[in-house]
Amino acid sequence: MDDTAHGAPLTGDLAVPSETAPLLQVENLQTTFELSKKLSVCAVDGVSFEVHAGETLAIVGESGSGKSVTSLSIMGLLPKDVGRVSGGSITLQGRDITRLSDTEMRDIRGKDIGMIFQEPMTSLNPVHTVGQQIAEMVIRHQNLSNAKARARAIEMLDLVGIPEPTARVDTYPHEMSGGMRQRAMIAMALACKPRILIADEPTTALDVTIQAQMLELMQELQDKLGMAIIFITHDLGVVAEVADRVVVMYAAQVVETGPVEDIFANPRMPYTAGLMNSIPRLGSSINKTRLEAIPGTVPALTSLPAGCRFHPRCSFATDVCKVGNPVLEEASPGHMIRCTRWRELTLGERRAS
């Protein structure tokens, strides 16, 4: 795609039916890791998507698919000296943020883009109280006085449903339970009212009952604050619950993307369909069937197969799949598929549940 003017409405394949310009637009993103002088791998290879205000975009994939590296690229948090954005653009509200300096990125992180991670204990600082950590954000970005920042911290803790926020503001992360810590981290991420929240596996380490609390909280906060959410996860159940649109990644590429109903009811890329069929669903004890496992393993990025990257594991693969690089093609509005054979394949109805 050509270099269109920033913020101008998209034309062509990548456009999603929408009146307004996207909040965040990732175009043909390439992120390279230099493992040694001679060896480098492309952990994100030509990824494009966009996020609009108030919507939730889920990025789904297995380990090594590049979903987390995509989010680190957006936030400018790639490990120094090893990883870098080597191509494409990330446009935040009309401004390309891939070439910003560290200082400029620091102004964006926390203020325009909030982040929450899988393990709250590693992202909260153990030697500061949660109140101090939230206050630090608003002092840094919004120039509030100490007293006002503390008041904001209490307000945020209350907003995320932490009981007795005036007392809790002075506790340290280790004094909180896992669920409370995750709430505190969300409070911190949202303290400056960012337009976009990137949540990287935010509920993976939590028990289902706590996960249910968290998903409910995030949805409630989105309704209240109107931010867009990029939700990175491998759990298809969570995706179905939170997402408006889905990006499925495999071996550093987007292999399918579309509205959530389309992706679940009518997956067109064999990998997506395979994932759907390989998860045990509730209700399986009534009608016991064997799981349809995807054979083989995810290829290493250092030894990717030629042709379609999924073809060695694909039960629909033929000789045409072993050559060339399939591109993303639009099957229906907003539903894109990277599969040479998608027009001829009937992947069948999803298993009855």
Partner 1 sequence: MTAPLLEVDNLKKYFPIHGGVLQRVVNNVKAVNDVSFDINAGEVVGLVGESGSGKTTVGRTLLRLEQATSGNVRFGGVDVMGLNATDMRSYRKRMQIIFQDPYASLNPREKVREVLTHPLRLHRIGTASEHEDRAASLLEKVGLSRDHLDRFPHEFSGGQRQRIGIARALAVEPEFIVADEPVSALDVSIQAQVINLLEDLKNDLDLTMLFIAHDLGVVEHICDRVIVMYLGRVMEIASAADLYARPNHPYTQALLSAVPIPEPGKRRKRTVLKGDIPSPINPPSGCVFRTRCPMATEDCAKVVPELKSVGDGHTSACIHTT
- Taking the least distance from each CB to partner 1, the nearer of 79 and 283 is 283
Among 35, 279, 320, 323, which residue sits at the site for partner 1 (rule: CB under 8 A)?
279
Among 20, 209, 302, 346, which residue sits at the site for partner 1 (rule: CB under 8 A)?
209
CB 352 within 8 A of CB 289: no
CB of 75 to partner 1, least distance (A): 24
**List of residues 6+ apart from 35 with CB closer than 8 A:** 41, 82, 302
- Taking the least distance from each CB to partner 1, the nearer of 146 and 278 is 278
CB 149 within 8 A of CB 130: no
Among 170, 175, 207, 220, which residue sits at the site for partner 1 (rule: CB under 8 A)?
207
CB 226 within 8 A of CB 53: yes
- Taking the least distance from each CB to partner 1, the nearer of 172 and 264 is 264
In terms of phi and psi (left: phi > 0; alpha: psi -120 to 50; beta: otherwise), the region of 252 is left
Q: In 3D, which of 205, 244, 207 has the Cα closest to residue 222? A: 244
> Of the listed pieces 109-117, 240-248, 317-325, 338-346, which binds partner 1 according to CB under 8 A?
240-248
Residue 129 sits in the site that holds partner 1 (CB under 8 A) = no
Q: Dump the DSSP string for 101-130.
A: -HHHHHHHBTTTEEEE-S-HHHHS-TTS-H
Q: Give Cα separations from 85 to 27, 41, 79, 94, 351 (angstroms).
A: 12, 12, 11, 18, 40
CB 31 within 8 A of CB 44: yes
Among 281, 304, 312, 330, which residue sits at the site for partner 1 (rule: CB under 8 A)?
281
- Taking the least distance from each CB to partner 1, the nearer of 152 and 313 is 313
From residue 3 to residue 42, the character string flagging contacts with partner 1 as x (rule: CB under 8 A) and all else as - is ----------------------------------------
Residue 278 sits in the site that holds partner 1 (CB under 8 A) = yes
Residue 298 sits in the site that holds partner 1 (CB under 8 A) = yes
CB 9 within 8 A of CB 21: yes
> Of the listed pieces 21-29, 71-79, 92-100, 279-287, which binds partner 1 according to CB under 8 A?
279-287
Among 17, 79, 126, 280, which residue sits at the site for partner 1 (rule: CB under 8 A)?
280
- Burial track 81-113 (b if 16+ CB lie within 10 A, e otherwise): eebbbbbbbbbbbeeebbebeeeeeeebbbbbb
Residue 290 sits in the site that holds partner 1 (CB under 8 A) = yes
Please give the residue ranges that form the binding site for partner 1 (CB under 8 A): 62-63, 177-180, 207-213, 215-216, 234-241, 243, 260-261, 264-265, 274-276, 278-286, 288, 290-295, 297-298, 313, 353
